[in-house]
């Protein structure tokens, strides 16, 4: 009786790297921690200490030209059992290419600081101030980092998951 040939085991194909990932890895090889794609929008997770270098590439590289900073926000992952509690999230657009990109950078819990990108996109001014005001994340190099929505003497950060909510009496904490 002859042996039947075994069907070849096929490995799932890894999709080719996008132009964005390729260009960033060429110039800052160790910056990208992870890449994902959902609904046609790519997400890069980059190291906090290399964020500014990556963002400079994304803006100035002639093949990429992410010329519009749409938003900056943060995520408090307190109850998600993630390695880092806070992640800063940037949303970029390259109008001519019709591309959108999300860039995330996790912050170490003991040092909630990240480089400001105000020098690249001046529109980051109020966006970084809002994230500072709501989460307490400091943007190093920002020209005027101060509270934007809360009173200057407000002692907490309202969008953190551990922010104490007291219900009806919460308004009494504001000094007007």
- Are 41 and 99 contacting, i.e. CB atoms less than 8 angstroms apart? no
Write out the residue range of the structural domain in which residue 59 sits: 19-166
Identify the pLDDT of residue 11: 59
- 49 domain-assigned: yes
What confidence tens digit (pLDDT) does each residue in 39-63 have?
889 999 999 999 999 999 999 999 9
The domain total for the chain is: 1
- 14 domain-assigned: no
Identify the pLDDT of residue 164: 74
Average confidence (pLDDT) over 5-22: 72
3-state secondary structure of 151: coil
> For the domain that residue 92 is a member of, what is the CATH number?
3.30.460.80
- 41 domain-assigned: yes
Sheet strands side by side (includes 99-107): 32-38, 41-46, 99-107, 86-94, 68-76
- 173 domain-assigned: no
Quick check: 70 pLDDT over 90? yes
Q: What angle do CA 21, 40, 22 make, to 5 degrees?
A: 10
- Are 37 and 43 contacting, i.e. CB atoms less than 8 angstroms apart? yes
- 61 domain-assigned: yes
pTM for this one?
0.85
The percentage of the chain sitting over the pLDDT mark of 90, rounded to a whole number, equals 72
- 13 domain-assigned: no
Three-state helix/strand/coil letters over 45-90:
EECHHHHHHHHHHHHHCCCCCCCEEEEEEEEECCCCCCCCCEEEEE
Average confidence (pLDDT) over 109-123: 96
Identify the pLDDT of residue 94: 95
Quick check: 33 pLDDT over 70? yes
């Amino acid at each position: 009786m002859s042996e039947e040939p075994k069907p070849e085991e096929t490995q799932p194909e890894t999709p080719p790297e996008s132009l964005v990932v390729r260009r960033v890895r060429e110039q800052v090889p160790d910056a990208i921690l992870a890449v994902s794609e959902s609904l046609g929008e790519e997400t890069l997770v980059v190291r906090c200490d290399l964020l500014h270098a990556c963002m400079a590439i994304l803006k100035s590289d002639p093949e990429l030209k992410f010329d519009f900073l749409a938003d900056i926000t943060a995520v408090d992952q307190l109850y998600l059992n993630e390695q880092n509690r806070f992640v800063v999230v940037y949303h970029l657009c390259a109008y001519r290419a019709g591309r959108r990109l999300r860039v995330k950078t996790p912050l170490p819990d003991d040092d909630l600081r990240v480089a400001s990108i105000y020098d690249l996109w001046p529109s980051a001014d109020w966006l970084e101030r809002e994230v500072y005001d709501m989460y307490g994340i400091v943007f190093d190099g920002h020209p005027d980092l101060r509270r934007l929505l809360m009173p200057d003497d407000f002692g907490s950060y309202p969008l953190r998951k551990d922010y104490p909510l007291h219900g009806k009496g919460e308004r009494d904490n504001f000094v007007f």
